[in-house]
């Protein structure tokens, strides 16, 4: 049989195709239908090189490019750019090919059902039977295939890879294999844009590059925390009285909080802190000073209402329509009275009291302030970790660049230590990257640094501005009172209820605290005791809540120094003292604790077994949002071994629960 198939394939490839009216190489198969290749008139793909001057300059010197069209990152280092209607696309391509910084220009195709597609140098084949599949050796021999692999060990679905840039050859090969009659399906591989299932309708979400950066407003595409994919792991609450919704709590130690249109209800109580405590000994109460908005901005990063049609999008999004006007419960402790003078009457005992109070009432603590090292504060941090198991997320500090002692020259240090409490080993310390995934120039660093999060704008000056849009105090109070109108804002219509230049490590820390809270909400069985409290570290040093959260967030970071392309099993070692373990990634962190939950419903049961079987062998959909949800044994491959692992775990007791693992791309 094998010999016959080899000769059959060889002769079929030599025969001219006479029953296809479409010119060679100008069609491909969608199922069994020969479909003409249609080029997009509104977009093209370009590859840039080291001489590229940046997107703003590119748009300025290329008037045919539509700056309002979405900029997308394509495979093989290419980018999709949109064009104005009516331009002569061949002329545009010709001009771009001779432009400095442009390495390559390619057309984008239109698929009849998938819309825009970007062809690659591969072919996906589904053979009709195992017998026909044996012809693979001959295909590889006669067509100079550079690599091939069976998809999910099926021995029917095969990927054939050609050399780079041979996408037209891939089209031709896919056609010939299908026309030979040996394959049920055969088509060139292509990339399409994958849209997240949830994108908030909040008008300022598009400016929140730290959450999702598509390049439209500057910076490097995907230099973000991947929040849209992470939200797909958020589980809906099933209770009707909000009791489940209010069980998890996060505390912010800052300069207070005031009513805001984009904070909404928290556990049924209107505005801000569902509970608060004032520790700064100021008679004015809990609200921040009239010219300040630091705590206000932190609260918005965590809990700005999602999908309410106004303002920003907070990280802590509920996954129920009925909860869209509710935020995860958080307790806010006011410990700072006047951020301009750093509160000269601030008592350390009051800070320690706030720490201990939060430790007895919450699960995560976010601190974007620094305090001098005192034994009482060190002791309080120790107690939070050892006795309570609470994760304390702290900003690393913004004093790597500063004015000299005379206040005349602006200098940057070659070596700086982290501020306290970020330098404490029992905290999770957070530095800041800019919109290009480069360490924010002011961000302090050292051997105690754990992770980074995006918040800076990449501009070196003494303003300390970032480029994050945050909530401010309503009306003319808050940062607007100190700085005046929004400086250099993306949106010139932005009103005084928002501030568009927040940033620094102050803005980085609550992002990481938010990721930690999403992990708690996803896997309370992993992180919490039955009564809902954190697991203390006193008797559980390796499995307490704070240690587990800290390790998962560190090991799921992206290596932005060495251009992490996720080649397989991710290197979880620390990068260096400037970047720690890398830039945090919320989607990776949630995937790490979700293996085996194939249908992404929060439980592992027989439905996950049948889902995996349907996906592997019956043409069912892949697990969403990541196929590696089905990688129950954490070896980087989804196959029949994962089915047997789940069965042995659920019914035979011979396997443990699917482990936490840090593999974020399916291995070949």
Handedness of CA 558, 561, 565, 568 (dihedral sign): negative
**What is the pLDDT confidence band of residue 476, given thresholds at 50, 70 and 90?**
confident
Among 203, 206, 335, which Cα is nearest to 277's? 335
pLDDT of residue 405: 63
Q: What residue ranges of the chain are covered by domains with CATH 3.40.50.200?
A: 205-235+251-554
Quickly tell me which residue has 């820390």 as its tokens: 509
pLDDT of residue 277: 45
- CB atoms under 10 Å from CB of 115, counted, come to 12
pLDDT of residue 395: 93
* 553 neighbors 584 (Cβ within 8 angstroms): yes
Of 27-31, 147-151, 330-334, 365-369, where does mean pLDDT reach its minimum?
330-334
pLDDT of residue 553: 97
Domain 594-652 is classified in which CATH homologous superfamily? Answer: Dockerin domain (1.10.1330.10)
Is 439 exposed, middle or buried (CB count within 10 Å of its CB: 0-12, 13-18, 19+)?
buried
Can you tell me the mean pLDDT for 303-310? 80
Of 124-138, 547-561, 576-590, where does mean pLDDT reach its minimum?
124-138
* 445 neighbors 418 (Cβ within 8 angstroms): yes
Backbone angles phi, psi at 180, to 5 degrees: -70, -20
Distances (CA, A) of 103 to 51, 96, 215: 9, 9, 19
**What is the pLDDT confidence band of residue 193, given thresholds at 50, 70 and 90?**
low
pLDDT of residue 266: 44
pLDDT of residue 275: 41
All residues at 6 or more sequence positions from 158 whose CB lies less than 8 Å from its CB, including other chains: 124, 125, 126, 127, 133, 136, 148, 149, 150, 151
Q: Is the pLDDT of residue 555 over 90?
A: yes
pLDDT of residue 272: 31
**What is the pLDDT confidence band of residue 424, given thresholds at 50, 70 and 90?**
very high
Mean pLDDT, rounded, of the chain: 77
d(CA 574, CA 524): 27
Q: Is the pLDDT of residue 581 over 90?
A: yes
Half-sphere exposure of 278 (CA within 13 A, CB side): 11
Can you tell me the mean pLDDT for 628-645? 94
Please tell me which of 44-48, 65-69, 464-468 the model is most confident about, judged by mean pLDDT. 44-48
Q: Is the pLDDT of residue 573 over 60?
A: yes
Cis preceding linkage at 349, omega within 30 = no
Residue 562, H or E segment: none
> In terms of DSSP H, where are the helices of 556-605?
586-592
pLDDT of residue 667: 67
166: its two tokens: 């041979």
pLDDT tens for each residue of 342-389: 343 455 666 777 787 777 778 899 998 887 666 777 888 888 999 889
Quick one: CATH architecture of 205-235+251-554? 3-Layer(aba) Sandwich (3.40)
Over pLDDT 90: what percentage of the chain?
23
Is 57 exposed, middle or buried (CB count within 10 Å of its CB: 0-12, 13-18, 19+)?
exposed
For the whole model, what pTM was predicted?
A: 0.72
Distances (CA, A) of 438 to 242, 442, 452, 564, 611: 41, 11, 10, 14, 41
C-alpha torsion 382→386→388→392, nearest 10? 50
Of 178-187, 264-273, 623-632, where does mean pLDDT reach its minimum?
264-273
All residues at 6 or more sequence positions from 574 whose CB lies less than 8 Å from its CB, including other chains: 554, 580, 581
Q: Is the pLDDT of residue 168 over 70?
A: yes
* 522 neighbors 596 (Cβ within 8 angstroms): no
Region of residue 653 (left: phi > 0; alpha: psi -120 to 50; beta: else): left
* 486 neighbors 493 (Cβ within 8 angstroms): no
DSSP strand pairing (250-254 vs 330-334):
parallel
| SS3 of residue 582 by DSSP | coil
Can you tell me the mean pLDDT for 37-49? 87
pLDDT of residue 647: 94
Can you tell me the mean pLDDT for 321-340? 47
pLDDT tens for each residue of 75-129: 667 888 889 988 999 999 998 888 888 988 888 888 776 678 877 788 888 887 7
Among 457, 430, 277, 455, which Cα is nearest to 367's? 430
Q: Is the pLDDT of residue 252 over 80?
A: yes
Q: What residue ranges of the chain are covered by domains with CATH 1.10.1330.10?
A: 594-652
Residues in the chain: 668
Can you tell me the mean pLDDT for 524-541? 88
d(CA 615, CA 612): 5
Distances (CA, A) of 295 to 216, 320, 618: 28, 27, 52
pLDDT of residue 17: 37
pLDDT of residue 639: 93
Q: Is the pLDDT of residue 483 over 90?
A: no
Q: Is the pLDDT of residue 189 over 60?
A: yes
160: its two tokens: 């054939």
pLDDT of residue 348: 63
Q: Is the pLDDT of residue 269 over 50?
A: no
DSSP strand pairing (72-73 vs 78-82):
antiparallel
d(CA 64, CA 419): 49
């Amino acid at each position: 049989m094998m010999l016959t198939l080899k000769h059959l394939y060889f002769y079929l490839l030599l025969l001219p195709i006479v029953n296809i009216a479409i010119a060679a190489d100008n069609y491909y198969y969608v199922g069994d239908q020969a479909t003409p290749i249609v080029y997009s008139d509104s977009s093209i793909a370009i590859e840039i090189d080291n001489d590229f001057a940046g997107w703003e300059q590119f748009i300025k010197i290329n008037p045919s490019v539509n700056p309002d069209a979405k900029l997308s990152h394509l495979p093989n280092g290419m980018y999709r750019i949109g064009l104005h209607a009516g331009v002569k696309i061949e002329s545009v391509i010709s001009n771009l090919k001779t432009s400095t910084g442009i390495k390559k220009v390619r057309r984008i195709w239109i698929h009849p059902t998938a819309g825009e597609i970007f062809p690659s140098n591969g072919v996906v084949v589904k053979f009709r039977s195992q017998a026909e599949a044996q012809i693979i050796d001959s295909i590889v021999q006669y067509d100079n295939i550079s690599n091939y692999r069976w998809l999910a060990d099926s021995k029917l679905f095969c990927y054939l890879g050609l050399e780079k840039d041979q996408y037209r050859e891939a089209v031709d090969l896919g056609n010939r294999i299908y026309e030979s009659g040996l394959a049920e399906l055969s088509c060139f591989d292509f990339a399409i844009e994958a849209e997240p299932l949830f994108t908030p309708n909040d008008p300022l979400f598009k400016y929140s590059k730290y959450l999702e950066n598509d390049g439209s407003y500057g910076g490097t595409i995907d230099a973000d925390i991947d929040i849209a994919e992470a939200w797909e792991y958020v589980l809906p609450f099933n209770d009707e009285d909000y009791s489940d919704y209010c069980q998890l709590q996060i505390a912010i130690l800052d300069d207070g909080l005031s009513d805001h249109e984009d904070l909404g209800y928290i556990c049924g109580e209107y505005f801000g802190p569902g509970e608060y405590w004032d520790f700064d000994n100021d008679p004015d109460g809990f609200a921040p000073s009239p010219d300040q908005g630091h705590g206000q901005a932190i609260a918005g990063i965590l809990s700005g209402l999602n999908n309410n049609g106004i303002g920003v999008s907070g990280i802590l999004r509920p996954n129920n329509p009925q909860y869209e006007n509710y935020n995860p419960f958080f307790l806010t402790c006011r410990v700072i009275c006047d951020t301009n003078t750093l509160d000269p009457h601030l008592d350390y005992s009051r800070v320690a009291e706030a720490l201990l109070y939060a430790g007895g009432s919450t699960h995560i603590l976010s601190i974007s302030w620094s305090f001098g090292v005192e034994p009482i504060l060190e002791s309080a941090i120790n107690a939070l970790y050892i006795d309570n198991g609470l994760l304390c997320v702290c900003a690393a500090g913004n004093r790597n660049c500063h004015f000299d002692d005379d206040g005349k020259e602006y200098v940057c240090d070659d070596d700086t230590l982290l501020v306290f409490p970020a330098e404490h080993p029992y905290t999770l310390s957070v530095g800041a990257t800019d919109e290009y995934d480069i360490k924010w120039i002011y961000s302090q660093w050292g051997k105690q640094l754990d992770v980074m999060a995006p918040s800076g704008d990449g501009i070196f000056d003494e303003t300390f501005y970032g480029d994050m849009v945050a909530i401010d105090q309503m009306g003319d109070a808050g940062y607007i009172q100190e700085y005046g109108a929004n400086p250099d804002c993306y949106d010139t219509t932005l009103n005084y209820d928002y501030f568009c230049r927040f940033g620094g490590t102050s803005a980085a820390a609550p992002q990481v605290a938010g990721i930690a809270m999403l992990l708690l909400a996803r896997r309370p069985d992993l992180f919490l005791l039955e009564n809902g409290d954190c697991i203390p570290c006193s008797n559980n040093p390796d499995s307490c809540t704070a240690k587990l959260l800290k390790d998962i967030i560190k090991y799921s970071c992206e290596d932005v120094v060495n251009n992490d392309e996720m080649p397989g099993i991710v290197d979880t070692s620390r990068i260096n003292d400037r970047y720690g373990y890398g830039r945090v990634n919320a989607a990776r962190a949630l995937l790490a604790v979700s293996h085996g939950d194939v249908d992404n419903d929060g439980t592992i049961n027989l439905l996950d077994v049948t889902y995996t079987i349907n996906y592997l062998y019956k043409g069912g959909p892949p697990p969403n949002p990541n196929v590696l949800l089905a990688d129950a044994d954490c070896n980087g491959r989804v196959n029949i071994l994962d089915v047997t692992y789940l069965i042995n775990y659920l019914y035979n007791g011979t396997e443990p629960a699917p482990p936490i693992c840090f593999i974020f791309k399916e291995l070949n």
